[in-house]
Amino acid sequence: MIRVGINGYGTIGKRVADAIREQPDMEVHGVGKRSPDYVAVGADEEGYPVYAVDEDRADGFREIGIDLAGSVDDLVAESDIIVDATPSGIGAENRPLYERHGTPALFQGGEDATVAEVSFNARANYDEAEDAEYARVVSCNTTGLSRFLAPLHENYGVEKARVTLVRRGGDPDQTGRGPINDTVPDPVSIPSHHGPDVQTVFPELDIDTIGLKVPTTMMHVHSVNVTLEERPDDVGEVTDLYRAEDRILTIPDYAGIDGAGTLKDLAQDAGRPRGDIWENCLWEESLTLQGKDLYCMQAIHQEADVVPENVDAIRALEGELSGPESRALTNETLGIDLGYLHDRTDLTAVRRTPDESPADD
Ligand code: NAD
């Protein structure tokens, strides 16, 4: 059993803890928590031992009935590996603590790539993390783009990728973030930081990205154009390629899923914890081939897509399983399979009538 300590129990940390609990080969040794708040009580209710980040706040935990298991220093000493899910920049500050105890660690995408020797995506470069002591699980957007680009890169070659990222303004619990009523180029300079981040996974890839922020907490949406080196026979071939990918949910035309709201509804109907969608959500109808240019749109659930990647990264660092074995185990234990959407009908025969929306906007 791999004993995993989670340092930083927020949006990502609590989801990673719950995912680890489902694995047959790992367990949550404990969680490092800073504030004695509702999330701390939630961790305690789940039965996760709570370790205090700030020892001078220990009394606050005791006052709400949480018996602390120790300090974060204890957590790091007792764990086989740490998942650092602290806010951007704190992971780098924590690295010396992990080094001092000789405890391997995963960092998250908010850290600079220099925080670890490898930037990790389970589909694209699992093997590169096998000899590493520290790895950075790339951000939600970079995870989504890496999963999307890997099959194209392997099958046709990518001459150039251009992506516009329409990003959610904040997560549902980030009450102070915005915009509230605006559409904001963010960053206004081009390319945005996302392209260089994808290059930490695909160093040779030619990619430009543009970022905006919009007033939603639900998901990011990517508008993608990839110029391929070799032309696929037809768009159906590309659709089949994506249907075969385990962490890409291709949305069939018949489904009536028209945006992030219906995707969340689907996830809740499917009984997904917190309505999480671990897969990229790629609209089949948007896949369009013009010469060597492929176009499409995909949605990325920012709170969720990196969760299975963290589970796989633990196995990569611990040298437990091969990439395909780990991905298959993670998918099975979490229930990453909404394939029933595709089992209903002969999909090649079902094509929605194109919308006849007036060109008034
Ligand atoms: P979050 O703010 O929801 O959670 C971070 C938690 O760490 C909070 O509970 C905070 O109190 C705690 N914390 C703060 N300082 C700490 C310290 N010194 N030691 C231990 N805990 C501390 O943040 P998040 O959204 O979960 O993001 C964590 C990381 O994951 C960041 O690098 C972020 O960029 C990355 N990430 C976030 C998302 C997302 O959409 N939320 C998606 C992918 C990756």
**Residue 352 reports pLDDT greater than 60:** no
CA of 285 to the centre of ligand 1 (A): 35
| 99/76 Cα distance (integer angstroms) | 10
Which fold would CATH assign to domain 2-138+307-334?
Rossmann fold (3.40.50)
What's the pLDDT score for residue 310? 98
Atom of ligand 1 nearest to the CA of 32: 20
Residue 342: band (very low, low, confident or very high) from pLDDT cuts 50, 70, 90: confident
Residue 131: band (very low, low, confident or very high) from pLDDT cuts 50, 70, 90: confident
Decide: 302 in ligand 1 pocket, CB within 6 A. Answer: yes
Which one of 51, 73, 94, 108 would you pick to mutate in the ligand 1 pocket, going by the greatest count of ligand atoms within 8 A of its CB? Answer: 108
Decide: 85 in ligand 1 pocket, CB within 6 A. Answer: yes
Decide: 200 in ligand 1 pocket, CB within 6 A. Answer: no
Q: Where are the domains of the chain?
A: 2-138+307-334, 140-305+339-347
What's the pLDDT score for residue 347? 57
**Residue 37 reports pLDDT greater than 70:** yes
Tell me what the mean pLDDT of segment 52-76 comes to: 96
What's the pLDDT score for residue 254? 93
What's the pLDDT score for residue 48? 98
**Residue 97 reports pLDDT greater than 80:** yes
Strands annotated E in the chain:
2-7, 26-33, 50-52, 70-71, 81-84, 105-107, 118-120, 134-137, 158-168, 184-185, 207-214, 220-228, 248-251, 280-283, 288-290, 293-300
- Of 361 and 329, the one with more pLDDT: 329
What's the pLDDT score for residue 224? 98
Q: pLDDT by residue (tens digit) across 186-244? A: 999 999 999 999 999 999 999 999 999 999 999 999 999 999 999 999 999 999 999 99
Tell me what the mean pLDDT of segment 171-192 comes to: 96
Decide: 142 in ligand 1 pocket, CB within 6 A. Answer: no
What's the pLDDT score for residue 345? 63
Residue 344: band (very low, low, confident or very high) from pLDDT cuts 50, 70, 90: confident
What's the pLDDT score for residue 251? 96
**Residue 355 reports pLDDT greater than 90:** no
Mean pLDDT of the chain: 95
| 255/238 Cα distance (integer angstroms) | 19
CA distance to 67, 214, 297, per residue, from 284 (Å): 50, 24, 9
| 191/343 Cα distance (integer angstroms) | 40
Tell me what the mean pLDDT of segment 288-301 comes to: 98
Give the right CATH number for 140-305+339-347 from 3.40.50.2000, 3.30.360.10, 1.20.120.610, 3.90.180.10.
3.30.360.10
Among 159, 158, 118, 164, residue whose Cα is nearest residue 138: 118
**Residue 27 reports pLDDT greater than 80:** yes
Among protein residues, the one with the nearest Cα to ligand 1's atom 33 is 110
Q: Which residues are annotated as a binding site?
A: 11-12, 110, 139-141, 168, 194-195, 302
What's the pLDDT score for residue 331? 98
- Proportion of the chain above pLDDT 70, given as a percent: 95
Catalytic residue among 140, 158, 257, 314: 140
What's the pLDDT score for residue 353? 53
Asked about 140 being catalytic, the answer comes back as yes
